[in-house]
Amino acid sequence: MRYLITGGSGLIGSALCARLLVSGHHVCILTRTPGQLLKRNDNAIQAVANLKDLPANYSPEIVINLAGAPIADFPWTAARRKLLLQTRINATQQLVSWLKTRKTFPDVFLSASAVGYYGDGGEHSLDEDSISAPGFAHELCHHWEQEALSAEQFGVRVCVMRFGIVLSRSGGFLSRLKLPFLCGLGGRMGNGKQWFSWIHLDDLIAAMEFLISNQTLRGIFNFTAPTPVRNSEFTATLARQLHRPAILPVPELALHCLGEMSSLFLDSQRVYPRRLQAAGFTFQYPELSAALANVLGEK
């Protein structure tokens, strides 16, 4: 199968590409630095900086859109918000416009989003049909999703993936938390009562493959484990896995110094993967303790 992937050099994209190459698929990645990517992969993949660099008759069977500047690296200043919007919405819009020009449309178009779509859900259980709360994260995800779903108008099967916190052996959210915990400086964020929705990277990749292979599936899917936990439980479980204490909470006031970006840490999102499970997907890591044990190297 021919895969076209945007954002293929990121945490999720790198893991996905490795899986596809082992399975013998042809992978083309749209990236700002194609030379660096090709060097790291010993030319095992094709990489281009622009869609215009692809052959006029190139028609991938699977398109996966993961592009977007990291959302938690810098405070959400006006300039940063603009960048976050452009690297998601504009990039998706350009990709959909390009797909429309193909002589043969892809079998499926998978596009990333995030559980930030729901905003602060408090104690409510959230599934794909839940009403969202307002905020920048919701606005960003909503417009991002709408651009992707516009490909349905010319017959493409579209699946939007709302990612929770991704647990990985390298990089991502966990790498930011791990160092302070190893130094004995870890603890809950704010009052710790907010719900965290998470997913093991292996389950995330497997869920992508599940959507690709099940041709009747389309629309919105929550990519979260079926057992969301409160922030206090998340940090306590992480501390136990690292054999460290979790006694130094990060005050809510300190997080509010990040401005609206504090919503990433303080909003409560009790999200469930209702549609994935209803379709028959089985999680390898449904429980947080086993997922953290795996990514942290514990047996």
Q: Quick one: three-class SS letters along 222-235?
A: EECCCCCEEHHHHH
Say which CATH number the domain at 18 has: 3.40.50.720
Residue 185: exposed, middle, or buried by beta-carbon count in 10 A (0-12, 13-18, 19+)?
A: middle
How many separate domains does the chain show? 1
Prediction pTM value? 0.94
- Span 39-58, pLDDT tens digits: 566 567 888 989 999 998 99
Flag whether 273 is in a domain.
Answer: yes
Asked if residue 21 lies in contact with residue 37, where contact means CB atoms within 8 angstroms, the answer is no
- DSSP one-letter string for 44-68: -SEEESSGGGS-TT---SEEEE---
Residue 122 lies in a domain: yes
Q: Is residue 276 a part of any domain in this protein? A: yes
Mean pLDDT over 125-152 rounds to 96
Question: Considering the chain, what percentage of its residues have pLDDT values greater than 90?
Answer: 71
Do the domain assignments include residue 211? yes
Residue 62 lies in a domain: yes
232 in a structural domain: no
- Average pLDDT of the segment spanning 12-38: 86
Does 31 fall in a domain?
A: yes
Domain carrying residue 153? 2-172+197-227+269-284
Question: What band does 259 get if pLDDT is binned at 50, 70 and 90?
Answer: confident
CA atoms of 130 and 116, how far apart (whole Å): 13
What whole-number distance in Å separates Cα of residue 19 and Cα of residue 278? 25
Q: Do the domain assignments include residue 65? A: yes
Residue type, 191: N
